[in-house]
């Protein structure tokens, strides 16, 4: 039996060897990290080392890293009207129309005050529309809002103009939250360079275990409204005994991602280009979404009219290849992409969209197997459609 090919890294990445080793070692630390005895202090050192490693990945102060159960919890922790430095609550939440569902849901903002900002046909937030909306809110005396914008889209891989958006938001005296779950470890995500006030990370996207993430503040003075209240863990920002092993794995994965960022970026760009060149050569009618924009080096969202995504994903799976029909945000869910809908993509093309995402151990032969499987699928389409190879 041929070995399986895993090309769904944007859904989750395999655990890095460095993370696995750190987790196994941490499992032997029996102390509660809040205890003052030697065992407790040993567990605390593991957490603080990981905090430094995660902070270094995005150029942050370790004191401003709050560990959570994952990206979704971190997003909800960030998206609170009470965000700020002791001022009046934020009256509005503005989000791009292509955000992760945990952001589109508005966190702890009432649905009535959550507003979507449109995107261009290439999948970038419409900065003019964002600026106009911020100006309108200012004229109406609504107060400065909280704005949430992902660093790069999880489906198309399109990198968002975060710094430009930050300047618009800060000119309006608002706060900017950036969901960097997909971008961290793949492209530079320096907190200060992005000018983000808050940044979300998820461990399992960079080779840590599932179930650990972080919300990171740029300024220590920025106040968070705790989502989980109780003890004083995480500087009172997130109650509950910390998941020491998962956090240790997160730190080790962050350190590995940072150390290997340059080499991994160049290699994945070459593999992505090889994949897209092969697909287009085999079926010239193939559409690569966001191809003219800056994208994550590992992500291709591709479609061929007549090739139904759900059928194609199953066919790939039977061929020993794991790909996706979009984001893996709901268990077993296959639904129309809200990202492609926001980009104005025709429904028949959106229904055909397949996401292929690569990682640090993807090989040229695996990419070539994916292209070969695509060709077989295209050849099975009715010839009358005029799109088969």
> Mind telling me the catalytic residues?
329
322 bridge partner residues:
6
Pair 215, 66: CB distance under 8 Å: yes
Query: Structure tokens of 181?
Result: 């779950």
**Cα gap 151→189, rounded to integer Å:** 8
CA distances 157 to 77, 284, 349, 358, Å, are 25, 21, 18, 11
Residue 329 has which token pair? 């945000």
Bridge-based pairing state of the strands 146-150 and 175-179: parallel
Contacts of 108 (CB under 8 A, 6+ apart): 76, 79, 80, 81, 225, 227
What CA–CA distance (Å, rounded) separates 103 from 250? 22
Is the separation of the CB atoms in 59 and 80 below 8 Å? no
Q: Which of 209, 217, 96 is nearest to 147 (CA)?
A: 96
Q: Are 194 and 178 in contact (CB under 8 A)?
A: yes
Distance, first Cα to last Cα, the chain: 28
């Amino acid at each position: 039996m041929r070995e399986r090919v895993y090309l769904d890294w944007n859904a989750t990445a395999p655990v890095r060897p460095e993370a696995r080793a750190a987790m196994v070692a941490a499992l032997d630390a029996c102390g509660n990290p809040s205890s003052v005895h030697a065992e407790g202090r040993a567990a605390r050192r593991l957490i603080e080392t990981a905090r430094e490693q995660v902070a270094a990945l995005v150029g942050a102060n370790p004191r401003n890293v709050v560990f959570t159960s994952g990206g979704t919890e971190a997003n909800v922790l960030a998206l609170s009207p009470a965000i700020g430095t002791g001022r009046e609550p934020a009256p509005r939440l503005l989000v791009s129309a292509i955000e992760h569902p945990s952001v589109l849901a508005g966190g702890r903002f009432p649905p009535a005050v959550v507003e979507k900002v449109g995107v261009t046909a290439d999948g970038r937030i419409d900065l003019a529309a964002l600026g106009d909306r911020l100006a309108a809110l200012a004229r109406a005396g609504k107060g400065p809002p909280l704005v949430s914008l992902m660093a790069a889209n999880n489906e198309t891989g399109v990198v968002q103009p975060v710094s430009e958006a930050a300047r618009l938001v800060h000119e309006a005296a608002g706060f900017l939250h950036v969901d960097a779950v997909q971008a961290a470890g793949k492209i530079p995500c320096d907190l200060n360079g992005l000018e983000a006030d808050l940044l979300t990370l998820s461990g399992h996207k960079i080779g840590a275990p599932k179930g650990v993430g972080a919300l990171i503040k740029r300024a220590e003075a920025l106040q968070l409204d705790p989502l989980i209240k109780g003890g004083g863990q995480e500087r009172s920002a997130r109650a509950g005994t910390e998941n020491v092993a998962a956090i240790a794995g997160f730190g080790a994965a962050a350190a590995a991602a940072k150390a290997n960022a340059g080499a991994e970026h160049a290699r994945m760009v070459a593999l992505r280009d090889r994949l897209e060149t092969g697909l287009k050569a085999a079926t010239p009618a193939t559409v690569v979404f966001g191809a003219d924009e800056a994208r994550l080096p590992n992500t291709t969202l591709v479609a061929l009219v007549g090739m139904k995504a759900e059928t194609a994903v199953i066919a790939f799976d039977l061929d020993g290849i794991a790909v996706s029909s979009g984001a893996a945000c709901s268990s077993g869910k296959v639904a129309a992409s809200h990202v492609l809908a926001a980009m104005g993509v025709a429904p028949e093309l959106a229904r055909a969209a397949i996401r292929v995402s690569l990682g640090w151990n993807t090989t040229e032969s695996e990419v070539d197997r994916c292209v070969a499987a695509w060709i077989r699928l295209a050849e099975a389409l009715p010839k009358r459609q005029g799109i088969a190879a």
